[in-house]
């Protein structure tokens, strides 16, 4: 991702210029399933973008694993993208897609709790510390760059320890989404189950005038932010208050991870219907959607949390208790 952004750096333009360029048109802009009419809703559009949780490189956090790096600059960009995708799923789950953020305005307690899941601390369930250490089991050394699939697999495993959100994270094999497997996985959870990502829009039709992408760039290094004495987090650096960037979709690296959030079974059924109607009719499609588990695949077994007894952010002395994760060194288990 970093090399792609560097390669096409001169093709990225500031979004305010984009707004001015199309200010007199009736073009629609989609932001995570919500559409905005560019001609009349520019302020709402920018407000919607700034409300998304923005995770970037950070410096001066506690060393990962006690002796590892204290900054993820240069290697943590894909981990930050994964955090942003999952954070948006949690926002939709607890606050709804129409929730908005305003600078220095008091937010619901669920918002602060979501934000604290991603702080750069070893005792936060989706922190850079947890993701980097869980990545060891995926063959990645701490401080090594992750690809999209590694990030997805790491988040899938970390979600097993997140009792508050009770997420069911499904990562497709061979670009094939199996409806039967997802429903089986969601039904085994004690609470409402989700597939991580973002809910689908009512229509997936792209604009014929532009298919450009608006994105939040993680390649900015900010100082570590911790909780304050009152238990709150100063959240201003977790929202992009500058104009976001855009790029031509043809310049997108083909190695990508798409995330979709479904709060209820009916949402998932609606997503399947939209995918079959709008995406699978195309000749060059990014993934397949099938009803039944392919017979030539290994049997599908929903992931379960290992039987590990721990209180808080303790280090496990032996990885034998986590054999199914194939970890190569100690991992930190959380009580969320």
User: Which residues carry out catalysis?
Assistant: 77, 217, 219
What is the spatial distance between Cα 52 and Cα 66, in angstroms, rounded to a whole number?
A: 31
60 contacts 54 by C-beta, under 8 angstroms: no
The SS3 of residue 28 is strand
Nearest to 161 by CA among 138, 133, 202, 183: 133
Bridge partner list, 37: 28
Parallel, antiparallel or unpaired: strands 34-37 and 245-247: unpaired
What is the spatial distance between Cα 219 and Cα 204, in angstroms, rounded to a whole number?
A: 29
| % helix, strand, coil for the chain, step of 5 | 35, 10, 55
What is the spatial distance between Cα 256 and Cα 248, in angstroms, rounded to a whole number?
A: 15
* The two structure tokens encoding residue 167: 């997420």
Neighbours of 209 (CB within 10 A): 11
Nearest to 290 by CA among 198, 206, 173: 173
Q: What angle do CA 85, 279, 87 make, to 5 degrees?
A: 10
What are the CA-CA distances from residue 266 to residues 189, 190, 269, 293 (Å)? 17, 18, 5, 20
């Amino acid at each position: 991702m970093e090399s792609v952004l560097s390669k096409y750096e001169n093709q990225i333009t500031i979004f305010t210029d984009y707004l001015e360029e199309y200010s007199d048109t009736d073009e629609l802009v989609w932001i995570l399933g919500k559409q905005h009419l560019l001609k009349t809703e520019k302020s709402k559009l920018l407000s919607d973008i700034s409300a998304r949780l923005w995770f970037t490189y950070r410096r001066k956090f506690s060393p990962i694993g006690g002796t590892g790096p204290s900054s993820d600059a240069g290697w943590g960009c894909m981990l930050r993208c994964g955090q942003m995708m999952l954070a948006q799923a949690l926002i939709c789950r607890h606050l709804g897609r129409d929730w908005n953020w305003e600078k220095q305005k008091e937010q619901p307690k669920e918002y602060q709790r979501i934000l604290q899941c991603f702080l750069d601390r070893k005792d936060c369930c989706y922190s850079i510390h947890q993701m980097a250490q869980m990545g060891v089991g995926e063959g990645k050394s701490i401080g090594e760059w992750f690809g999209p699939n590694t990030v997805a697999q790491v988040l899938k495993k970390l979600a097993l320890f997140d009792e508050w959100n009770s997420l069911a994270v499904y990562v497709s094999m061979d670009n094939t989404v199996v409806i039967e497997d997802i429903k089986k996985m969601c039904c085994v959870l004690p609470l409402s189950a989700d597939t991580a990502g973002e809910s689908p829009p009512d229509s997936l039709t792209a604009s014929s005038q532009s298919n450009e992408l608006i994105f939040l760039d993680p390649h900015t290094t900010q100082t570590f932010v911790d909780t304050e004495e009152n238990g709150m987090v100063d959240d201003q650096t977790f929202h992009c208050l500058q104009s976001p960037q855009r790029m031509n979709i043809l310049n997108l690296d083909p190695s990508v991870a798409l995330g979709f959030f479904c709060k209820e079974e009916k949402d998932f059924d609606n997503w399947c219907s939209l995918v079959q109607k709008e995406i699978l009719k195309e000749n060059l499609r990014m993934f397949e959607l099938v009803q039944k588990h392919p017979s030539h695949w290994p049997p599908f077994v929903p992931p379960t949390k290992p039987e590990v007894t721990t209180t808080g952010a303790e280090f496990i002395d032996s990885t034998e208790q986590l054999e199914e994760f194939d970890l190569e060194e100690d991992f930190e288990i959380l009580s969320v």
